[in-house]
Amino acid sequence: MEKLIIAPSILSADFANLGTDILMLNESEAQWIHIDVMDGMFVPNISFGFPVIEAIQKLSKKFLDVHLMIEKPERYLTQFKNAGANLITIHYEACTHIHRTIQEIKLLGCQVGIAINPGTPVAALNEIIGIVDLVLIMSVNPGFGGQEFIPHSIQKTKDVKSLANQCGNFRLKIEIDGGVSNLNAKDLISAGANVLVAGNFIFKSKNQKSTISDLLKLGE
């Protein structure tokens, strides 16, 4: 079993003290930083763009996991790569020519992920799961932090793991984003998840570094 990866979601950080929060993550056991980019079109919220990602990249010592919740993400792939993205995740629902966009991300030298919303069936991944590095399962409806976890996401995780094995992509990373906490993390890991995104659960805890460590221990 691959080592569990914790990817704190910077969307839940204190934006008045973003540098301090990035330095805290540098000192923590978290391996990735999850960056949610929202355009106000694909999701009903707007987050941040290239200048903020560039600022994070300058301070961060971590792998930057950039999750694009935007329409027509193919317009901006080079800019996200140049801003510091190590992995670019696009939404299945936001991309008409998904196979071509996956290829474009690979040509940039980034790892590539595909995200699916709660209402999108796992079967939608049939034609592409063999050529991506990661599948991101949205366990809340995308757009806002702090939402309640959708329990069916556990079964969905099992289904993605099964589909990946069927097509021979045994190294696929399965990432869960939304409402992740110590209450559901163990079940998600057992189902096949190996990357957990956590926002409020980490940043609103009293000891953020300990919370990250405790989540990691659940994967041992």
**DSSP 8-state code for residue 46:** B
Spell out the residues 6+ positions from residue 78 whose beta carbon is closer than 8 angstroms to its own. Answer: 108
**Catalytic one among 21, 39, 133, 177?**
177
Listed in sequence order, the DSSP H helices in the chain are 18-27, 50-59, 77-83, 98-107, 153-166, 185-191, 200-203, 208-217
β 173-177/195-198 pair status? parallel
Structure tokens at 172: 């696929």
**Catalytic one among 21, 36, 65, 133?**
36
Q: Tell me how far CA of residue 143 lies from CA of 152, 170, 212, in angstroms.
A: 19, 30, 23
Q: How far is CA 200 from the centre of its chain?
A: 15
Question: What CA–CA distance (Å, rounded) separates 43 from 61?
Answer: 29
Identify whether 177 is a catalytic site residue. Answer: yes
Identify whether 65 is a catalytic site residue. Answer: no
Burial class (CB in 10 A: 0-12, 13-18, 19+), 23: middle
Question: What CA–CA distance (Å, rounded) separates 78 from 87?
Answer: 12
Catalytic residue list: 36, 177
